[in-house]
Amino acid sequence: MLPQQKDLVKATIPALQQHGEAITQAFYKTLFEEHPALLNIFNPANQQNGGQARSLAASILAYAAHIDHLDQLGGMVSRIAHKHASLEVQPEHYPIVGEHLLRAIRSVLGEAATPEILDAWGAAYQQLATIMIGVEQNLYDEGRSQTGGWSGYQPLLVTRKVIESETITSFYLSSPDGKSLPAFLPGQYLAVKAHLADAPFQQIRQYSLSGINDGKTYRISVKRELAPGHIAAAKNGLISNYLHDEVHEGDTILAHVPQGDFTLRQTVRPVVLLSGGVGITPAISMLRHLAVQQPSRPVLFVYATLQGSHHAFREEVRVLTSASGHLQSITFYEKPSAKDRLGVDYDHSGRVSAQALQPHLPPQPADFYYCGPIGFMDAVEEILDSFDVPLDCRYSEAFAPDPSFATEIARA
């Protein structure tokens, strides 16, 4: 990019802050109208609730703000690249996206989008596309070349199906021919692809790997998003309901090699794992890994859920923590039922709070990993702010389109 083009991109930051979501909404509208086949890649529920538009707007704003220091976008680029790789986004998709993004900028900003500004944004987009294509190609190469690896989506055999709670069911997966499965890091996810008979497009969803990396079996644990027959089930819980109701032991599902950058960092600091609802899935994988690979490293496992009937992996966590003096767990039930026993089934009623969490934290600086729905993530961020936890000790993943990459950018 030319220096004057970078200056023009930076000069549009106020307009992006004001009109970013309108631009991205216009972008997605025309993109899908003219290229409906891309709905085989994008989750339509995230389009309907506006989450994807907000996430893209935040990404564009972050890119514009750091156009002079792209090395500071490492966290954002990595997260998006892993998601793109799990969706099999290809280089030929980028020119289509670029064309519709520039059209959306022109449509929303009107006369303010001068030819010079559009040229600058065209150059900026091409620069970002080149970076993303290179990172994603590396991920594709790694996925294909590793032991047991493959390209695209491959059928995996469902060897076990286990109900973990009222809402979460685990699926144990193996290679149909008995071969080894690619290694994964605790916190990564498996993309699953399905094409339902009455649905116009195939659908891809990412589910965290909740088991251990043994080279033989994957475990994904899926929350049923909405009860069968619910009026919105076709929009929000299409694949989770399909997995719960129609996929059984002996069936196969199409899966991608593991992806994701929400993984344990190589430090010696104590670890605090905080999860809400189905956010426990990557956390339990991290806990199992730490218990085996770093048994002397202090770990605090904090889980928040509605009540006992929604409490997944209760016995698994109990066994892990009781076997080691370095592992502790705390459970919060937001609305305990009459059958739930304080001090036995759970430790605190209500939501996670700084006051309840403070006495259990390790005395020395720790790394904090947190995962769950957006409301839970916002609450944890406020708690960590109150504890003055540095940004470079915070690692997170929201189970929704990421509304902001502020943490990753600030950390860099």
Which residues are part of the catalytic machinery? 94, 136
Alpha carbon separation from 7 to 10, 17, 120, 121, 350 (Å, rounded): 5, 17, 9, 11, 49
d(CA 46, CA 190): 19
Q: How far is CA 246 from the centre of its chain?
A: 25
Say how many Å lie between the first and final Cα of the chain, rounded. 22
Strands annotated E in 292-340: 299-305, 327-333
Q: Can you list the alpha helix ranges (DSSP code H) found in 227-369?
A: 233-236, 238-246, 280-293, 314-322, 354-357
> Which of 301, 340, 298 is closest to 317 using CA atoms?
301
User: What dihedral do alpha carbons 123, 125, 130, 133 form, nearest 10°?
Assistant: -160
Non-local CB neighbours of 9 within 8 Å, separated by 6+ positions: 64, 67, 120, 121, 124
Using only C-alpha atoms, the chain has a radius of gyration, in whole angstroms, of 22
User: The tokens of 24 are what?
Assistant: 């991205």
Residue 226 gets which letter from DSSP? S
Sheet holding 299-305, edge to edge: 348-349, 327-333, 299-305, 271-276, 367-372, 394-398
- Nearest Cα to 43, choosing from 239, 280, 246? 239
Q: Report the alpha-carbon distance of residue 44 to residue 62 in Å, rounded.
A: 24
